[in-house]
Amino acid sequence: MMTRQAITHLVCDCDGVLLDSESIALRVLHRELLPLLPAPAADAALHAAIANRLGMYTDLLLEEVDAEFGLGLSAQQVERLHESVGRACGEEALPVPGIAEALQAIRLPRAVASNSDAPRIESGLRRCGLYAQFAGHIYSAHDVGKPKPAPDVYLAAAAGFGVDPQRCVAVDDSATGVRAAAAAGMHVLGFTGVAHDRKAMARRLLEAGASKVFDDMKQFPQLICELVWLR
């Protein structure tokens, strides 16, 4: 029986773990897509469909929502939606409550692995005072291969450290991201602190492969400490 390697590095998703920006993306996408609904009565269903897909590559999210609701999105509309979401998140994102204090208490080298594009990640981290902690280890699925749930962006983060992915613990807030980190071979924690329905999301993250789920960043350092000393 193979013994799991000791945890030595931390890899964080960006939106929903470091930055409280997914609620902003949800608001912008819902606002922009609502006028395109063939049946206005589907307003609540559209909102739920977007919320359930947060964490996905935006192109795929829009493709699935377009197919489900018959929105008829053009390539120009998709590009404009990308720009609207990126601009709003860059200008309005706040740090997830308690993340700065949690990171200060965690001594592991850290990276970001996200489905968002690099400019959006960097602008959000700079706005929230977190950029310096991750500079040089920021990985976007736009740059490294397939987006989550493929493991590419998490594998890129481990490769950037020059370590086996099994030495990394990943923290993600979406089922898409948890599946990606698990597929990369990382130990995975699920975070639900900014989820719209924490209980439902906790179930989804555990089903996707998270070993534990937490909803308050005050718990984060202790969970990491337990993993570091786990043999």
| pLDDT (average), residues 97-102 | 97
Among the listed residues 67, 45, 46, 55, the one whose alpha carbon sits nearest the alpha carbon of residue 25: 55
Residues whose CB is less than 8 angstroms from the CB of residue 64 and which lie 6 or more positions away in sequence, other chains included: 49, 53, 56
Structure tokens at 93: 């994102």
3-state per-residue secondary structure call for 118-140: HHHHHHHHHHCCCHHHHCCCEEE
Structure confidence by residue, pLDDT tens digits, 62-73: 999 999 999 999
Which of 31-35, 48-52, 118-122 is the most confident on average? 31-35
Spatial contact of 129 and 159, defined as CB atoms under 8 Å apart: no
pLDDT, position 1: 36
Q: Distance between CA 35 and CA 81 in Å, rounded?
A: 13
Structure confidence by residue, pLDDT tens digits, 66-95: 999 999 999 999 999 988 988 888 788 899
| Pairing, β 110-114 against β 19-20 | unpaired
Confidence class of residue 230 from pLDDT cuts 50, 70 and 90? low
CA atoms within a 13 Å half-sphere pointing along the CA-CB vector of 94: 6
Confidence class of residue 4 from pLDDT cuts 50, 70 and 90? low
pLDDT of 231 strictly over 90: no
pLDDT, position 173: 95
Please give the share of the chain, as a percent, with pLDDT higher than 90.
Answer: 74
Output the pTM of the full model. 0.85
